[in-house]
Amino acid sequence: MPLIVMRRQIAERLDMTTKTGIQSKGRDLSEIFAPHAGGKSAEPTGYASRGRDLNEIFAPYTGGPKAEPTGIHVRSRDLNEIFAPLVR
């Protein structure tokens, strides 16, 4: 099964109403990035929501389409280079 289809199915199963409280361009990051569903994590970001680093909340970016740039950077990399986009 293609990775993008798996991410969509995971997003549909998880409760996406949980907001991080961190916004980019008026949208919560939970509306931009795919939820982490276990397995490999992205590098720690230093940004936390409810005591959890964003790398524990969002799936790592592994290639393919990216989310729009967020303007939030970790070591000169935008979060859209670190986390997988939410597929709806």
Question: What gap in Å lies between CA 4 and CA 25, rounded to an integer?
Answer: 24
Q: What is the pTM of this model?
A: 0.78
- Residue 4 has a pLDDT of 58
Helix (H, G, I), strand (E, B) or coil at 18: coil
Q: How confident is the model at residue 6 (pLDDT cuts 50, 70, 90)?
A: low
Provide CB contacts within 8 A for 20, sequence distance 6+: 28, 29, 30, 49, 50, 54, 57
- Local confidence band at 8 (pLDDT 50, 70, 90 cut-offs): low
Looking at residue 38, what is its pLDDT? 87
In degrees, rounded to 5, the angle at the alpha carbon of residue 83 between the alpha carbons of residues 39 and 11 is 70
Residue 5, pLDDT > 60, answer: no
Q: pLDDT category, 59, cuts 50, 70, 90? A: very high
Task: Give the total residue count for the chain.
Answer: 88
Q: Where are the domains of the chain?
A: 3-81
